[in-house]
Structure 1
Amino acid sequence: MQNLVVTRFEHKYLLTDAQAAELRGKLNAALAADSHNAGPSGSYLVRSLYFDTPDSRDYLDKVDGLFSRQKLRLRVYGGEGGRAKLECKQKQGDYQKKTSVWVTADQCDAFARGDFSSLLDTDDEDAHFLYALASRGYRPAGLVEYRRSAWLLGVRNTRVTLDFDVRGTDVLPTLYGPVVLRPLLDPGLVVLEVKFDRKLAPFVRRLLKGYQRTRLSCGKYENCRALNELL
């Protein structure tokens, strides 16, 4: 079971389609495109199944604006079966630490039933950390799917992404298989995410100048959980 721990800052912004198209051209010219960007849209599919406690503690911590909070999710790329990432994303303001392990489709099915015991079938400390967290009663609480275009810069571990066609559901979510999804953003809006170590490189800061005006405070999971409130 391969593990991955990432620590860095993360900033999110809302762009219009026109702004995103303009920025895409600049990013293509200046940064290395993620190898997974594919097709006419230069993007790839991301699907995330979020878990929460019976009292929705993680969701409410975000709604209440707590400085320290966390999320637990399963993430699969490409919309197909196979292995996925089980991730805990811990945040201290803008600073984040993400602990991940790769898991199989069978493990994902077990996790959705509340059985995380397979994480103990290894001596990996990160898997044990995720088990200790998930075994507190975490169950599926919402599913989010979107298309992502990503660009990379080796300086300060910089990653810039554009997420569009963001949709979700909080009704009987499942990681695999067809589900009925609803838009989580107003039409014509795209999410810009900027991730980096310590301080954003001046070159990237100049590249993004003018696109960081509308800071996004509510994440995709929170928008998904708020779906029923909008009915």
Structure 2
Amino acid sequence: MKMYRVEDKFCCTVQEMYQLQQRLDTVLQVDDNENSAEGYHIISLYFDDLEDTCLKTAIDGCRSRRKYRIRIYNNSLACIKLEIKEKQDNRIFKLSKYISPEEMNSLICGQCIPSSFSMDDPAFLFNLAIQTQVLRPKVIVAYERKAYIYGPGNVRITFDRNVRTSSQTSNFGMQNLSYTPVRGQDSVLEIKYDEFMPKFILQLLELNSLQQTAYSKYCLCRANLLL
């Protein structure tokens, strides 16, 4: 049975972001990926089919939709994640597994990689989409993230900023990619949790003062490449 998590997003300015981070620094644990006081660097390669189904369902605000991506951290291929993210209204479910650089390159070239025959295996679902929907790389999305975690409720709070994009999908994972800044919000606050959100965290965040958004980095970066 799939266990969906709640995901809410809010727009915030850089000033608001730092104010909220100062509050959270005293009570929450930071993410393991953090390699500086500013957080860590994420680079994701997003895939879509010939009909751009993932893009269109996100733009149209369809209640049920899916994203396919490969993700690396801090410009390193030491940790490569293959991910499929499903969304049902404001609830998300993610399938994730580690893959090798060789497997990453195979997927970028439209080739299948070793997998089980389980619908819980993201590699199997990637292979299936490659074979039946001509799934291919579409855009690279890069940004900086500061993340906090809290055990009860499996809470994860992230601040994303400096979103950039690149069309050099065949060079994903290389150090010398050329990026274009993406127009949009200064920073985006994302809140994820399972069954409940502790009240003291809500009080710290003061969400009533922030504007909720359906912000999609994938959609913004795809649109930016058309400008």
Fold equivalence (TM over 0.5): yes
Correspondence for 1:179 among 172, 177, 191: 177
Correspondence for 2:95 among 96, 99, 107: 99
Correspondence for 1:155 among 145, 152, 169: 152
Letter of the 1:37 partner, please give it.
E
Greater shift in the superposed pair: 76-85 or 15-24: 76-85
Q: Distance in 2 between matches of 1:182 and 1:77?
A: 19
Shift of 1:124: 8.8
Query: Does the aligned pair in 1 maintain the 2:159–2:188 contact within 8 Å?
Result: yes
Shift of 1:217: 1.3
> 1:125-144 residue pairs with structure 2 within 5 A?
125-126=120-121, 127-135=123-131, 136-144=133-141
Alpha-carbon deviations, 1:180-208, whole Å to 9, x = none? 1111244x711111000123221211111
Query: Does the aligned pair in 2 maintain the 1:74–1:175 contact within 8 Å?
Result: no
Q: Distance in 2 between matches of 1:171 and 1:75?
A: 15
Change (3 A) 1:6 1:100: farther
Partner of residue 208, structure 1: 205
SS at match of 2:171: coil
Shift of 1:215: 1.6
- Listed as ranges, the gaps of 5+ residues in structure 2 are none
Shift of 1:172: 4.1
Correspondence for 2:58 among 57, 62, 78: 62
2:148 maps to 1:164: no
Q: Distance in 1 between matches of 2:151 and 2:14?
A: 27
Q: Which runs of 4+ in 1 moved over 6 A?
A: none
Change (3 A) 1:215 1:174: farther
Partner of residue 73, structure 2: 77
Superposition TM-score, scaled by structure 2 size = 0.90
> 1:112-123 residue pairs with structure 2 within 5 A?
112-120=108-116
Q: Distance in 2 between matches of 1:38 and 1:152?
A: 16
Shift of 1:36: 2.4
Partner of residue 196, structure 2: 199
SS at match of 1:118: coil
Letter of the 1:92 partner, please give it.
Q
- Listed as ranges, the gaps of 5+ residues in structure 1 are none
Shift of 1:66: 0.7
Query: Does the aligned pair in 1 maintain the 2:168–2:177 contact within 8 Å?
Result: no
Superposition TM-score, scaled by structure 1 size = 0.88
Q: Distance in 2 between matches of 1:175 and 1:32?
A: 31
Query: Does the aligned pair in 2 maintain the 1:48–1:75 contact within 8 Å?
Result: yes
Shift of 1:81: 2.1
Alpha-carbon deviations, 1:76-134, whole Å to 9, x = none? 111112341111100001001101111011111110000123235x8795132343234
SS at match of 1:20: helix
Query: Does the aligned pair in 1 maintain the 2:72–2:81 contact within 8 Å?
Result: yes
SS at match of 2:26: helix
Q: Distance in 2 between matches of 1:70 and 1:163?
A: 21
Change (3 A) 1:60 1:138: same
Query: Does the aligned pair in 2 maintain the 1:15–1:211 contact within 8 Å?
Result: no
Q: How many residues align?
A: 223
Shift of 1:171: 4.8
Partner of residue 32, structure 1: 29
SS at match of 2:78: coil
